[in-house]
Every structure is written in structure tokens, then in C-alpha cells.
Amino acid sequence: MTALKERLDADLLEEEEEEEDTQEDEYLTFLIGQEEYGIEIRYVTEIIGIQNITEVPDMPPFIKGVINLRGKVIPVMDVRLRFGVEARPYDDRTCIVVINIGDTLVGLIVDRVFEVLDIPKTDLEPPPRVRKGEESRFIQGMGKVGDKVKIILNAEKLLYEQNA
Amino acid sequence: MSFENLEEKADLVKYFVSEIREMLDEVEPQIIAMEKDASFGRVDGEVLNTIFRLFHSLKGSASFLDLKTITSITHEAENLLDIFRRGEAFLNSRYVDLLIRTTDFIRKILDAVEKQLHDGGYENDAEQIISELRNTLSGAAAGESGDSSPGRPCEIEPEPCSSEANGVAGERLMANFVAESREILDEAERTLLALEKDPGSAELAGRAFRALHSFKGNAGFMGYGELEEVAHRAETLLEKIRDGEKNCDPVSISFLLIAVDALRDGVACLEMGGPPRVEGKNEIVEYLAKMAGEAAPQDTPSAPVTDGGLTSVQESEVPKGAPKEEPASNQQFIRVDLEKLDRSQKENKKVELVITGEETEVDKTIIEQISDPLVHLIRNAVDHGIEAPEERRRLGKPETARVNLAAKHSAGEVWIVVEDDGRGLDRSKILRRAVEKGLLPPGREESIKDEEVWRLIFEPGFSTADKVTSISGRGVGMDVVKRNIERLRGRIDIRTRPGAGTMFAIRIPLTLAIIEGMVVKVGNSRYTIPISSIKESFQPLSGQLTVAPDGQEVVRVRGELLPVVRLHELYRIPPPRFNRLEEGILIVVESDNKKCCLFVDELVGQQQIVIKGLSRYLGQVRGVSGCAILGDGDVSLILDVAGLINSLEERGQLA
């Protein structure tokens, strides 16, 4: 009986791992200002163009408001403003990356979306110890791709890290 | 009843059998539980009532299907239970055992009924059980305790005052209780009134708490359950207020005062030799509990009080424990039963209750909330609306009055109408009472519109019954009715014609998530205001506007001064198109009888909206209760009128 249960548990664990395996090491990259950022693909549910945003009172400036995502009302965050980068008018390349963390959907407004990249763990480095700028608080690591470096963001921190 | 169509009967019988089995499944554990209690000499009156009602319904259904054996057995069982129920005899394990054997026997017959469609062939066995029930009955009625097990009378309410056994000592105790209660309740009332003026005072709340606490103790000692319960609930609420866990708002105070009044009446009734009952106890208790943020006391799973017949059979269409969303037959709200109307006959009124639209499907939450209000409305109709038969005859009306209860669907709403053909509402009487109760400043009687007069009867504390009768007239009912309906985002309207009758029309949205909203524009933003909280909207004239010394803008609307809230300032959004109040629109909104004016650029239009929550990520947003998606796909925030008015009040901007 116990043996069976253990086996079942092990199977379940394996399954979970497998599922994550398929998406592990994959990152969606996007542009803010001149820098390229990446976010773990498992958080991303879709990418949409810029929408009409309804402002919500009493929010920090980087929370632009809410949008209607096929009948679901989700908040959107301007990542530029989150990073303390100067605001810039939205254009037809501006995208909203919808991410899902713990069943909470949030749209991230980014300048433009690039691609999905595979960055093996071996190519990841811890965040630099000294780095100025607001966004350093949200960095999970640095990913080497060829001779370029992408800044990998910690989605959780991006959403929930308190303002300094 | 005879059935020409055998198939029809077969269907009905099948229905009946499964129905009865369900009832038995429900009643047996209760009987067994009762046995346990019985050995301690006390039985919960409510449990006994439930069991009684189940047997009663069973009898009704059986007689409808012409199942004579079952009918006669259940009849005897019912008689026996009635004796216990009325507290006329002791209940002990022997009777419990007999009741269980009765239900077992009924089950046995059911098996046969299922096959042969009648309950013949069991007459002899039945005879035995019936005679046993009868013997027990006469034994019980004679006060014989059956066996030697000690048993106290299993009264629903121990009533020492009415029980002769307590004799002189009991009477003296009661006299003491009455005298002391008077003092305690006076003290409680004085303190509550002081607390109303000084809501922050923990000291006053503590004093009121102690008064009710002593009252509770005394009532408990005397065994006056209802008085004790009401005092207990009031005490709990006061405790929370004292400890700062609950705001001391005027509503809480008024309910506490109602409770104290009710207790006082209960004591007075006791003194007159009546039972220590608290009129409207359930509502009072429920509201006190709600105010204290507690779950309302669980009512005993109410067995349908029906007048027998098919009603109970149909009742089973509602699956037990059905998920909330699932539409359920509104059969349930028709448990506004005939028992209550029977009472009116005792008071020499003849009333016929006509129910139409039972098949109307209603959300279960609605049924739960609406059934008490309906009981109130019907009671009120019978009690206040309908004249005595002599008077009706004199007026040329049929002696038997009619009360209609009708339900139907209409445009996404449920309409429920309670209508009587009585005397109609009396404008001058209502006005007089309203002035008396301080609900209306004197001198305004002439100018007030009829509709506004009728609405006065929904004010807390209003009651026009010249005397308080057993059925209604305590003034708790109508405001509870209105509150319950408003909680469902519904509306209640009154139409009345002197001499011809009164109609209460209730409209409740089918799903709670859909409301009528008014979309307004401020600058580039569109907000939605629930129609139910809008009183009126208008373009102000400069003569109506003033600025208070603290800078608060105030508008005069028919003698009332209302603070103006500029929505763009509230929400800190880009300035509106119009800056001068005279250019835009003012919307008068109301919550809990408090009003303020919202300043917006324009009204976009009224529409039905589906309420959606704002994202959890954003948390609670001040002044916003949710959002809705408008026709063009944009999101519009829904204004939280109650929250807005409360925050104004906290800032001292509402009188």
C-alpha cells in the first residue's frame, strides 16, 4: 500500500517536472529603451497589441489601469515606469505581454517584443552586484546569448516588489 | 381523490414514495437525536416542530393519494407529537421508540405501495400500531409518564409562570424578575440613547453591555429562552462595539433599541400572565447577529409548513444542497404558509391566499432572502390591509378578502407581487405617525408626494398598527423587507388606492451580477453608477450653490443641503470638460438614507451591466466597487456609493 502510494507520488512529481521541463530555459525577450529583457516563458500566456486602458484611481504611476481581455478585466503595468524610465507614447509596436502568476493575470506594457530564446542554465549568471537603476531590484540573472547579454527579470518581483 | 388515469397515478405514487422516503430519512435521525435529549429530560422545541411537520406533510401527501393506512397512522403519530409539542406531556424513550417503529412500518408499506399502487393489505398491522399510538396518546395526555424515567415537561419554552407546579414561589420570582427587568432595560435604553450621541464611548457601550448581560442572566435563570436569546445577541453586539471591533453606527443602535423595546414588551407580556415571547424575535436576532458580524443563527432546517396536499410533493423538486447558482423552483418562497393566515381567521378576518406563478424559477440565494420579506408583506396585508368581515360587508366587498401572491419573469427580472383588496394605505395616518416618530419634520405633510408617503412605511421604527397584534405591528417588519430586497439589488414599489387595496411590487434582477447602471462621463473617463443608488440628476442653477467655510461645495435641493463631490478630484483624473458646476450635471446618490451629489460632465446613458471584480492584484480600490465592460469593449469602473458616502461622513461632510 505504502509502496504504491510512494510510486504514485513519484510519478506525479516526475510528471510535474516533465511539464516544466518543456518550458524551462525558454525566455520571451522584449525591449525597454535600449535594453533587452527576458522573462520566463512559463509565465507568459499571450501577447497583445496596446488596448484602451481604463485608469484606476489611487494606483502607483506604473499601474496604468485595467483592460478588457476578452471579457476578463486585467490590470496593466507600464514596465518603463516600473523601471523608472521616462514614459514614451505608445505606438503600433507597443505590446502588452500578459503573464499569469499564481492565477493573477497582469499585462506588462513593453516597447516591443522580440522572440522566444533558449538560454541554458549554464549560460546564466547571477545579477551583477552593483548596478544602478530601478530595474536592478527585479533582476533574476544575466543570460548570455552569443556575444549579447539579456537581462532576465524575476516576474514575481516585478509584480510584487515594493517600491524603494 | 380518484384517478381516472392509472398511469398518472402510477407516476404520482412513484413520486410520492421517493418523496416520503426522503422525508423519513430526514426525520429518523432527528427522532433518534431526540431520544438522546429526552433522556436528559429536555427536547428542543424546534426539533419537535420539525418532526411534527414532517409527519404532517406525510399525512397530507398520503391522503391526497388515497393511501388510507398511511394516512391514519401518520394522523395518530401527529396527534401524539402534538401533545409533546404543546408541552402537555412528558416525552421519554418509550415514545421515541414507538415513533421509530412507526416510521419503520411506514417504510414497509411504502415498498408495497410501490408495487401495487395502494396500501391495502397492511390494515391489521396498522391497526396494531395505531392502537398502540392511541393508548400512548391517552396515557400521555393523562400525564402518565409511561415508565419511571425522569422526565420534565418537554416544553418548547419552559414557562414557569404558566406552569402551576411552580406555584407561589414561582410567582414571586417572576414578579421580582419583572421589576428588576424594568430597571435594567430602562438603564439599557438610557445608555444606548447616550451612546447614540457619543458613539465613540467605550464606557457607555460597556454600561449597556452590562445591563443586557444582567438581563440575560436573569432571563436564563427563569428559563425564558427567547428573552435570553435576544439579550444575548444584543450583548454580543455591544461587546464588539465596546471593544472597538465594530463601529457604533446609528443602524446598530437602532437595532439595539428595537431589541430593548422588544424585550420590554416581552416582560410586559409576562406580567400580564402571557408567555415570555419576543415578537419578531427571529428578525431581531438575525439583525443583531449580522451587525455583530456573526453568522445569523441557523434556523432549524425548516420543514415546509404546508397545508398538505401537493405542495410538499413539489417541494422536493428542489434538490437538497443544490448549488447556489442552480435555479430552483420558487416553491420554497411559497412557504409563506397558510398557518399564518389561519391566525387571522382567529382574529375574525376571512382571507384567501391566491398563489400564481409558483413555477417561476429563481436563483436560490434570492429565495433565501425573499421568503421572510414575503411573509412580512402577507402578514401586513392581512393585518393592516384587510378589513373585518362586517366592515367589508358594509362596504359591499366580498366577506372573504383575497391576498394575491404572484411571481413571474420579466426582462431579466423576477417580479413578485403581493396584493390585497383591503382598505389601502391611509395617507394622513402614515403622515401623522411619521411626524410622531420624528421621521418627518412637522409642517411638511402637505407638500410631500404620495409615493414618498408610502415609502415612509419602510422607515425603521415605523408602524401604524394602532395596537400591536400577535401577527404584526412591531415596526420591525417593513424596513427589514426593504433591506432584504435592496440587498438583492431589487426594488419595491407600492401602489395603493383607498378602499380598493394595496399592491407591493418587488423586482429583483435574476442574477445578482447584473445591475442597471448609469454611465457618466468625467473628462475622458466613463464611470458607472448603480441606478439603484441614484435619486435624481439635474443641472444646478447658480442660486442653488454655496461654498461652506471649509471650502466644501454645497447644493440646495428642495430644502436639503447636500455636499458636492467632484468625481475628477475624487479620482484624481485629468480635469473635466466643465469646471463650473452649473455647466455639468449633478447626480444625487443615496446610501443608507444619506445623500450626496456627484458632479460629472455628462450622462452617457443607462444600461444593464455585468459586475466584474477588479483584479486581486490591485486590491481594494477606494470608491470603486468593481467594474463593467461597456458596449464598445471598454472597461468602466463602478462607483461604490456606500463607500463614498461613508468616507464623506468620516470627514464630517455629511450632516
Q: What percent of chain B has pLDDT over 90?
A: 7
Q: Are B97 and B60 in contact (CB under 8 A)?
A: no
Q: Coil, strand, or helix at residue B320?
A: coil
Closest CA to B626 of A87, A108, A73: A73
Same domain for B280 and B212, yes or no, is yes
Distance CA A154, CA A137 (A): 9
> Which one of B494, B509, B524 terminates a domain?
B509
Same domain for B90 and B175, yes or no, is no
- What distance in Å separates residue B567's CA from the closest CA in chain A? 11
Distance CA B440, CA B434 (A): 6
The predicted structure's pLDDT at residue B241: 84
Same domain for B116 and B32, yes or no, is yes
Interface with chain A: mutation pick from B566, B617, B624, B627, highest number of A CBs within 10 Å: B617
CATH of the domain at B614: 2.40.50.180
Q: Are B399 and B393 in contact (CB under 8 A)?
A: yes
Q: How would residue B539 be classed by pLDDT, with cut points 50, 70 and 90? A: very high
Chain B residues inside the 8 Å CB shell of A56: 614, 618, 621, 624, 637
Task: Say if residue B295's pLDDT is above 70.
Answer: no
Q: Which residue of A has its CA nearest to B574?
A: A55
Q: What percent of chain A has pLDDT over 90?
A: 53
All three cell numbers of B89, joined, read: 406531556
Same domain for B246 and B350, yes or no, is no
Mean pLDDT of the B204-226 span: 83
Choose from B126-130, B347-351, B625-629 the range with maximum mean pLDDT: B625-629
Same domain for B525 and B460, yes or no, is no
Q: What DSSP character marks residue B382? A: I
Residue B147 lies in a domain: yes
- What distance in Å separates residue B147's CA from the closest CA in chain A? 53
Closest CA to A110 of A74, A80, A153: A80
Choose from B136-150, B188-202, B300-314 the range with maximum mean pLDDT: B188-202
Q: How would residue B329 be classed by pLDDT, with cut points 50, 70 and 90? A: very low
Phi, psi (degrees; rounded to nearest 5) at B170: -60, -40
Nearest to B622 among A55, A58, A66 (CB): A58
Chain B residues inside the 8 Å CB shell of A59: 618, 621
More confident residue, B288 or B166: B288
Same domain for B531 and B628, yes or no, is yes
Same domain for B202 and B103, yes or no, is no
> Which one of B234, B258, B291 terminates a domain?
B291
Q: Are B402 and B421 in contact (CB under 8 A)?
A: yes
Task: Say if residue A94's pLDDT is above 90.
Answer: yes
Is B589's Cβ below 8 Å from some Cβ in A?
no
Task: Say if residue B339's pLDDT is above 80.
Answer: no
Q: Are A142 and A149 in contact (CB under 8 A)?
A: yes
Residue B284 lies in a domain: yes
Distance CA A55, CA B1 (A): 68
Q: How would residue B224 be classed by pLDDT, with cut points 50, 70 and 90? A: confident
Q: How would residue B318 be classed by pLDDT, with cut points 50, 70 and 90? A: very low
The predicted structure's pLDDT at residue B548: 84
- What distance in Å separates residue B514's CA from the closest CA in chain A? 14
Give the mean pLDDT of chain B.
75
Mean pLDDT of the B165-192 span: 75
The predicted structure's pLDDT at residue B142: 56
Same domain for B359 and B505, yes or no, is yes
Which residues, at least 6 apart from A57, have a Cβ–Cβ distance to it below 8 Å? B570, B571, B572, B573, B621, B622, B623, B624, B637
Terminal CA-CA length for chain B: 66
pLDDT, one tens digit per residue, over B233-261 is: 888 888 888 888 777 777 778 778 888 88
The predicted structure's pLDDT at residue A75: 96
Same domain for B520 and B501, yes or no, is no
Nearest to B618 among A52, A72, A75 (CB): A75
Mean pLDDT of the B379-405 span: 85
Q: How would residue B41 be classed by pLDDT, with cut points 50, 70 and 90? A: low
Write b or e for each residue in B169-207: b if 16 or more Cβ atoms lie within 10 A of its Cβ, otherwise e. ebeebbeebbeebeebbebbbebbeebbeeeebeebbbb
Chain A residues inside the 8 Å CB shell of B617: 75, 104, 106, 159
Which residues, at least 6 apart from B124, have a Cβ–Cβ distance to it below 8 Å? none
CATH of the domain at B277: 1.20.120.160
Least confident piece of the model among B426-430, B437-441, B564-568: B437-441
The predicted structure's pLDDT at residue B322: 31
Distance CA B577, CA B538 (A): 17
Q: From residue B7, give the alpha-carbon distance in Å to each of B4, B13, B42, B62, B223.
A: 9, 10, 47, 18, 55
Chain B residues inside the 8 Å CB shell of A106: 615, 617
pLDDT, one tens digit per residue, over B476-501 is: 568 778 888 887 778 888 988 888 88
Distance CA B254, CA B243 (A): 19
- Chain-chain contact of B623 with A106 (C-beta, under 8 angstroms): no
Amino acid letter, residue B545: L
Q: Quote the domain boundaries for residue B535.
A: 514-650
Q: How would residue B170 be classed by pLDDT, with cut points 50, 70 and 90? A: low
pLDDT, one tens digit per residue, over A19-59 is: 555 678 899 999 998 889 999 999 999 999 999 999 998 88
Mean pLDDT of the B197-207 span: 82
Same domain for B119 and B186, yes or no, is no
Amino acid letter, residue B213: H
Q: What DSSP character marks residue B613? A: P
Q: Which residue of B has its CA nearest to A101?
A: B617
More confident residue, B441 or B146: B441
Same domain for B341 and B453, yes or no, is yes
Residue B52 lies in a domain: yes
Closest CA to B522 of B573, B448, B560, B446: B573
The predicted structure's pLDDT at residue B363: 66
Q: Are B397 and B416 in contact (CB under 8 A)?
A: no
More confident residue, B222 or B518: B518
Q: Coil, strand, or helix at residue B640?
A: coil
- Chain-chain contact of A57 with B572 (C-beta, under 8 angstroms): yes
All three cell numbers of A92, joined, read: 503600433
The predicted structure's pLDDT at residue A164: 47
The predicted structure's pLDDT at residue B331: 42
Mean pLDDT of the B360-378 span: 75
The interface pTM score, or ipTM, of the predicted complex is: 0.79
Task: Say if residue B159's pLDDT is above 70.
Answer: no
The predicted structure's pLDDT at residue B469: 43
- Chain-chain contact of B627 with A104 (C-beta, under 8 angstroms): no
Q: Are B233 and B289 in contact (CB under 8 A)?
A: yes
The predicted structure's pLDDT at residue B221: 75
Q: Which residues of A touch B (CB under 8 A)?
A: 52, 54-59, 63, 65-68, 71-75, 104-106, 159
Closest CA to B157 of B66, B281, B244, B70: B281
pLDDT, one tens digit per residue, over B571-625 is: 877 777 788 888 889 999 988 778 899 999 999 999 888 888 788 888 878 888 8
Q: Does domain A26-160 match CATH 3.40.50.970?
A: no
The predicted structure's pLDDT at residue A9: 62
Is B618's Cβ below 8 Å from some Cβ in A?
yes
Within 13 Å, how many C-alpha atoms sit on residue B162's CB side? 19
Q: What DSSP character marks residue A59? A: -
Distance CA B213, CA B211 (A): 5
The predicted structure's pLDDT at residue A107: 96
Mean pLDDT of the B415-425 span: 89
Q: How would residue B333 be classed by pLDDT, with cut points 50, 70 and 90? A: very low
By DSSP bridging, strand B501-509 and strand B491-497 are antiparallel
Q: How would residue B503 be classed by pLDDT, with cut points 50, 70 and 90? A: very high
- What distance in Å separates residue A136's CA from the closest CA in chain B? 22
The predicted structure's pLDDT at residue B148: 37
Domains in chain B, number: 4
Residue B318 lies in a domain: no
Closest CA to B183 of B221, B222, B211, B219: B211
More confident residue, B648 or B431: B431
Same domain for B463 and B602, yes or no, is no
Terminal CA-CA length for chain A: 53
